[in-house]
Amino acid sequence: MKQRTLGTGLTVSEIGLGCMSLTGAYGTTGGPAREDAIALIRRAVSLGVTFFDTAEVYGPFSNEDIVGEALEPVRDQVRIATKFGFAFAENGVEPGGLCSRPDSIRRAVEHSLCRLRTDHIDLYYQHRVDPAVPIEDVAGTVKGLIEDGKVLHFGLSEAAAATVRRAHAVQPVTAVQSEYSMWWRDREQDTIPVLAELGIGLVPYSPLGKGFLTGTIDATTTFADSDFRGDTPRFQGEALAANLALVEVLNRIAAQTGSTPAQLALTWLLNQQPWIVPIPGTKRLQRLEENTAATAVELTADQLADLRAAADQTRIVGARYPETLDAMTNRDAPLPATENADYRQ
């Protein structure tokens, strides 16, 4: 698989693997059996994937442990990204909600290193921006971890443009992870131009629209009571029916090219910028092989233009998250000033 560079020095496969679903996601009660999850990760390695995304909160904790066991034999061949920023007792704070206090970050990295069976984390993201802690303090803490050799690169997840600028001024940001796909493009209006300006990579999660862009969801689809998509405006009723116009275009071009809708959605992302590396997640070997094969899809100029036109012209209806989840999204609004910080390195 071809390689891409995030920021100024993190080189990874042009498609990575999001591992969240291996321990349950979107309201499911759990992932595959541990041995199957490990086998899937190792199959990804054999397919050329070198970039694996996890987080302490996935599970929580068990996801990092599975990723660590799976990749231990090939650790020198791969790059692991994980995340901090939620409150856990093991990190010295009362559980619940967000916490990016410097002391908590320093405890979190030690636990993540242990679970991942490694002496360094290639890319360490703040999982969600903590409004109680100045971003400069967060960046400064990760800078110290980089100086100690425990972390190689700093990342932010779901961070808005102003937050990225402030963090980057303290410790260069290598990558920003954000939802980005043909059916959620809001970051094109704020964050992505800043990433281009500062030389920061973009790692889109949910590049297949939480399954919507695979072509497996239609107007008759129902979701389990535990599946949050059933409460998400974008997947409901008239909004879902309207949004299927985008999938119809994917289906048409897929039939012309011998590819799948999912592969086309990933191809669209890869054609946006050379510093974009999507991380589709799956629990199934067939889907893993389908997703990684997207790197071999070749489109004519007309087909690529059709994809771009479909993305530009289709009006996507409905919010991408239920209100409670969307509340954690960082937007360009005042954050606490450094001089008022309660937490210091």
Instruction: Specify the residue for token string 């309201």.
Output: 27
Residues 6+ apart with CB under 8 A from 31: 21, 22, 23, 24, 25, 37, 283
Residues 6+ apart with CB under 8 A from 17: 41, 44, 49, 51, 52, 53, 279, 280, 281, 288
**In angstroms, rounded to a whole number, what is the distance separating the alpha carbons of residues 332 and 161?**
7
Establish whether 58 is a catalytic residue: yes
Pick the catalytic residue: 26, 58, 180, 321? 58
Cis peptide before 60 (omega within 30 of 0): yes
Task: Tell me the C-alpha to C-alpha distance, in Å, between residue 47 and each of 3, 13, 206, 238.
Answer: 13, 10, 20, 39
Helix segments in the chain, DSSP class H: 34-46, 62-71, 102-116, 135-147, 161-170, 191-198, 237-257, 261-270, 285-292, 301-313, 323-326
Q: Which of 61, 154, 158, 147 is nearest to 111 (CA)?
A: 61
Which residues are catalytically annotated? 58
